[in-house]
Homo-oligomer: A and B are copies of this chain.
């Protein structure tokens, strides 16, 4: 049996189309254009590429974006001053601080300054805390983890009561996706580099989320037949057939695992496109919340 291939590119496009339509409605009906401010410190090429993609998505969907690029020598106090300014700017509905920040700046100190109602990346520690707690709702959940949940829902996976195994416990993927799965009533196991006999654990997973950053780490023998496998990994491997000399692969051995799993995301074209789609959706939601707030 070959697994259902979960088409993240198509699902992301659906979400983007809906955001585009709703943004147009919001503008027509209320004169509000959802606005995303991006804060980028330093000259990390990958970070610049990410921010470009996010601003491009805004332009395509009819959202405003406000790019703030700061030199790598910028002080923490200056970054915080900017974040506070944006937190108070009525044209800005969402604030995205591109990570990582230069080493001399505390991520925690900066992220804590993002107004909760504009925290479209969901990384303010208060929002992470609420993510895990019963009867508390974060204003926003982080985009990649939300994208994982969206893919599970769209492919028909039953989360409640399922045993979900998450490989990796990073602040931006592994931890928040674990908390989201727990909130959806999965039994959740978090594995990491110190886990003993990891294959014995992953083989129990009805839902397996790989976010461990190791090329093709998950092999067919580690997967329960019929499991839903979500691959968050993005790793470069050499490929002489490509002009760039390399290509992207995930944390899952796709070719092997697709013969065992019930459903699986490819890399690229699986989780990747979801991150920006969820960011756009969160920014729209932030603008709509403001619109409701201002009506009252």
Interface extent on A, as a size class?
A: 35 or more
Contact of A187 among B108, B130, B194 (CB under 8 A): B194
Q: Please, how many angstroms separate the alpha-carbon atoms of A125 and B89 in the complex?
A: 26
Known interface pairs A190-B182, A191-B187, A196-B187. Does A125 touch B136 (Cβ–Cβ under 8 Å)?
A: yes
- Chain B residues, Cβ within 8 Å of A128: 129, 132-133
A195 CB–B CB distance under 8 Å: yes
Tally of this chain's copies: 2
Given contacts A192-B187, A195-B187, contact A169 B125 (CB under 8 A): no
How many Å lie between the Cα of A132 and that of B185 in the bound state?
Answer: 19
Taking a contact as CB atoms under 8 Å apart, the answer to whether A188 and B190 are in contact is: yes
For the complex, is A134 an interface residue (Cβ under 8 Å from B)? yes
Minimal Cβ-Cβ distance residue in B for A194 = B185
Q: How far is the CB of A9 from chain B (nearest CB, A)?
A: 30
Task: Give chain B residues whose Cβ lies under 8 Å from the Cβ of A224.
Answer: none
Encode A180-207 as 1/0 by CB contact (under 8 A) with B.
0010011111111011100001000000
* Nearest opposing residue in chain B for A200, CB measure: B204
Closest to A190 in B: B188
Which B residues touch A126, using CB under 8 A?
112, 125-126, 129
A196→B162 CA distance, assembly (Å): 7
Across the A-B interface, give the 10 residue pairs with the lowest CB-CB distance, nearest first.
Answer: A129-B129, A125-B129, A128-B129, A189-B189, A185-B194, A187-B195, A133-B171, A161-B194, A125-B126, A188-B190
Chain A residues with CB under 8 Å of chain B are 108, 112, 125-136, 160-161, 163, 169-171, 175, 179, 182, 185-192, 194-196, 201
A-B contact pairs, 10 of them (CB 8 A): A127-B129, A132-B175, A132-B179, A134-B171, A135-B171, A136-B171, A161-B194, A161-B195, A187-B195, A188-B189
Known pairs A128-B132, A163-B201; list 9 more (Cβ under 8 Å). Answer: A125-B133, A126-B129, A127-B129, A129-B129, A129-B131, A129-B132, A134-B171, A182-B190, A187-B192
